[in-house]
């Protein structure tokens, strides 16, 4: 801008001499108009630059909002939004349904047979479930798992003598040491029995008896005698 002004002033100094005053005034007016046009153009250019910058910011902002909005929409489609540092709470499916079913009141640890250090009469067994409490009474012994009330007969194991075999359903027969073991069900309870002499030794398993396999029941009965 300053350079243009200097050129106009030099041009005016060279051409004023020998020109009529009217021409000089006209040239001055034209020079001032030219200066105003240049200033106006510079102003317009500045406005256009500012508008371009503003438009770019708005476009970038809208794109950012669009991306953020897209992420939000994707996040809302999931059942549980992912939040850094926060673990999702357990779902309802992870909670076991309580619909009146009999729930186990003790830890379902694997049953292990260990040496029995107690004496029962007339029933005697060399093996016993580890940690189970025995309550003998005549030809009947009740074994109760840990952390279970002794009065809860459904959670205990019953071992007793009988003159006749129990009428089982779904019978599975196995043989070991010259004895035949019968495994099946009676009145909704898993039952195992073996004939010892002229009497039968019967074991009625707890309602929750998943840890009592056929092999385990056979080993337990095979360790018992009935006098």
Least confident range of 4-8, 13-17, 27-31, 149-153: 13-17
Peptide bond into 122 cis (omega under 30): yes
Assigned token pair, 189: 């309870």
- Spatial separation of the C-alpha atoms in residues 199 and 139, rounded to whole Å: 11
Rg (CA), the chain: 50
- Spatial separation of the C-alpha atoms in residues 150 and 102, rounded to whole Å: 17
Counting every residue written for the chain, the total comes to 227
Question: Of 108, 124, 107, whose CA–CA distance to 116 is shortest?
Answer: 124
- What stretches of the chain show up as alpha helix (H) in DSSP? 2-16, 21-77, 214-222
Residue 170 in this model has a pLDDT that exceeds 90: yes
Question: Of 213, 104, 138, whose CA–CA distance to 221 is shortest?
Answer: 213
- The pLDDT tens digits for 126-169 are 999 999 999 999 899 999 998 777 667 788 999 999 999 999 99
CA atoms within 13 A on the CB side of 181: 19
CB 226 within 8 A of CB 185: no
| pLDDT reported for residue 87 | 52
- The pLDDT tens digits for 45-67 are 554 445 554 544 444 444 444 34
3-class secondary structure per residue, 40-91: HHHHHHHHHHHHHHHHHHHHHHHHHHHHHHHHHHHHHHCCCCCCCCCCCCCC
- The pLDDT tens digits for 172-208 are 999 999 999 999 999 999 999 999 999 999 999 998 8
Assigned token pair, 184: 């099946």
| pLDDT reported for residue 39 | 67
- The pLDDT tens digits for 89-113 are 444 444 444 434 333 344 445 799 9
């Amino acid at each position: 801008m300053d350079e243009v002004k200097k050129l106009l002033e030099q041009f005016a100094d060279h051409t004023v001499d020998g020109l009529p005053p009217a021409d000089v005034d006209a040239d001055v007016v034209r020079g001032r108009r030219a200066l105003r046009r240049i200033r106006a153009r510079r102003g317009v250019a500045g406005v256009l630059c500012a508008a371009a910058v503003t438009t770019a910011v708005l476009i970038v902002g809208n794109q950012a909002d669009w991306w953020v909005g897209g992420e939000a929409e994707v996040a809302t489609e999931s059942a549980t939004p992912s939040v850094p540092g926060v673990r999702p709470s357990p779902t309802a499916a992870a909670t076991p349904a309580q619909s009146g079913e009999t729930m186990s009141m003790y830890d379902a640890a694997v049953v292990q047979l260990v040496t029995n250090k107690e004496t029962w009469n007339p029933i005697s067994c060399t093996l016993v479930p580890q940690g189970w409490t025995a309550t003998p009474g005549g030809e009947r012994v009740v074994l109760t798992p840990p952390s279970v009330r002794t009065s809860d007969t459904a959670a205990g194991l019953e071992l007793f003598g009988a003159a006749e075999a129990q009428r089982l359903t779904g019978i599975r027969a196995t043989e070991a040491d010259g004895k035949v073991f019968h495994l099946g069900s009676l009145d909704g309870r898993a039952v195992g029995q073996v004939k010892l002499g002229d009497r039968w030794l019967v074991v009625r398993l707890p309602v929750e008896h998943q840890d009592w396999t056929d092999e385990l029941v056979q080993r337990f009965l095979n360790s018992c005698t009935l006098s």
